[in-house]
Chains A and B, each alone.
Chain A
Amino acid sequence: MTPTREEFHNALIERHGAENQKKFDKATVAICGLGGLGSNIAICLARAGVGKLILIDFDKVDITNLHRQQYKAAQVGMPKAQALSDNLKEINPYITIETHNTKVTEENVIELTKDADLVCEAFDKAENKAMLVNAILENAPEKYLVSSSGMAGFGSANLIKTKKISKRFFLSGDSVSDVNDGIGLISSRVMVCAAHEAHMALRILMGETET
């Protein structure tokens, strides 16, 4: 049986402490890109009881996504934003979710993320990552930004780190493992990087802004 809102919230407080949970409750996080990184980040944050997630992706669930992205076989063909929202609501029925089935561009990124305290960059292509990071740092410098670069292949998971680039800008990954070098994306290593991003996001929301 699904726990009541109060039961659910009390369980979160038991794990995180009341003070931290209060901060997570009132936080809004935007996740740009709902692939291997974004779908895993979203699950971490939904489980932690972050109050509101803004999920943005233009794409549909593809069969080739199932090896590392948090979708189910029966969801192939569904818009990722909707499919992920459904999955998150099963995990945490009390979370608020805003979905955007749209491509993030330089023109719409500020509007799409305007309600977010923190933005997680979770794209696949290097050019898109750079576009989002530049757009947020230039036009929304009050927001925290957690981005990522380098998580492809079977290399050691221990090479994945989170660095603080500047006051509100953090970068997870090994910085070098490029999917374009033909090394593929492996579920476990992408999840390590996603967990780094999600964990940094939670730490920032708690008020801890050192890596």
Chain B
Amino acid sequence: MVKINGEEYQYENKQLTAVLEELNYDKARIAVEINEEIVPKVCYDATVLKDGDIVEVVSFVGGG
């Protein structure tokens, strides 16, 4: 089980890129932290979620 923005998902052992695609995130508009550590964009492909990971995906919208 992993938590993404407070919701539980069965995404352990799954690649971060695949999870973000499945949840329809636009990679150009997000920042991802796992267990309060930023995941650099170049590491999305190589990052595999582990059981118990707490993931925050901050997805930006326009306006300022």
Contacts and interface: CB of A to CB of B under 8 A. Distances in A.
Interface of A: 33, 35-38, 122-127, 129-130, 133-134, 137-138, 141, 147-152, 165-167, 169, 171, 175-180, 185, 190
Contact of B62 (A125, A147, A165, A169): A125
A122 B60 CA distance: 12
A122 B62 CA distance: 11
Contacts, number: 82
Contacts of A138: 38, 40
A116 to B, nearest CB: 18
Nearest to B38: A137
A36 B62 CA distance: 12
Most buried by A among B28, B29, B62: B62
A165 B33 contact: yes
Please classify how large the interface on chain B is, using the bins under 10, 10 to 19, 20 to 34, 35 or more: 10 to 19
* Interface class of chain A by DSSP: mixed
Contact of A185 (B37, B41, B63): B63
A33 B58 CA distance: 19
